[in-house]
Amino acid sequence: MHTKERGGAPLGNEFAKGNSGGAPAGNQNARTHGLFSKFLNDDALEIMDIIDQQTPADIAWDLVKIQYTAIIRSQKVMWVRDSLDHLDDKSGESWGEGGGSESRKVAYAYEQQAAFLASQSRAMSELRYAIKNFLDISDAFDERRKKIEIMDANLEKIKADTKKEGNDKVATVIVSNRDEMQAYLDAQKAAKAGDDDGESPDSSGSS
């Protein structure tokens, strides 16, 4: 007579005692970023979880906003009042029994302004690329495209307003809509026309 053998551990076996089954506590097999969680901190993992919920257009738009914000903020951070607005900071010092000395690092106003203009130019180029990338992958009816028009207007205004006023003073004004931008451009054209009308037809200075 054939008898059916019972599977599993022998009667009285205690090898699995206390094991409720499943993965050990803290096991992250089911977590999307289980591998990264061994090496990245919680903040990075949280950002990755958010990115998983975004579309490519959302990510591209975030990059546009980050770059645009950096450009606007730089208008305040990289401010040079005039040609004498130098930065003079102590960079080191050395002291001994016979006395001491200190070294200072000076950034002249024209150096600060030149560095700012170069940095601004690069930032604008990167923003243009980010905008192009967003427009390429976003839906034609994406409402965020309307904000691109305002951003473009502001970029043009920043470039137009980065000009000399008196002692190398730079002025920048930010617009928030297309109507304000158009009013500014009209005023600029009127001012330029007035300057042209005021010029003497004889530039040689002869009488």
- pLDDT, tens digit, 9 for 90 and up, residues 66-102: 998 888 887 776 655 545 455 545 555 566 666 555 5
Radius of gyration of the chain (CA): 32
Cβ count near 22 (within 10 Å): 7
Higher-confidence residue of 185 and 148: namely 148
CA nearest 137: which of 205, 53, 63?
63
Give the percent of the chain with pLDDT over 70. Answer: 42
Higher-confidence residue of 190 and 132: namely 132
CA nearest 160: which of 127, 119, 189?
189
**Residue 59 confidence (pLDDT) above 70:** yes
Range of weakest confidence among 142-146, 148-152, 166-170: 166-170
Q: What is the mean pLDDT of residues 17-32?
A: 52
pTM, 2 dp: 0.48
The pLDDT of residue 149: 85
Interacting residues of 182 by C-beta distance below 8 A, sequence separation 6+: none
Residue 169, strand partner residues: 165
Helix (H) or strand (E) holding 88: strand 87-96
CA nearest 161: which of 190, 141, 181?
181
Residue 80 in 3-state DSSP? coil
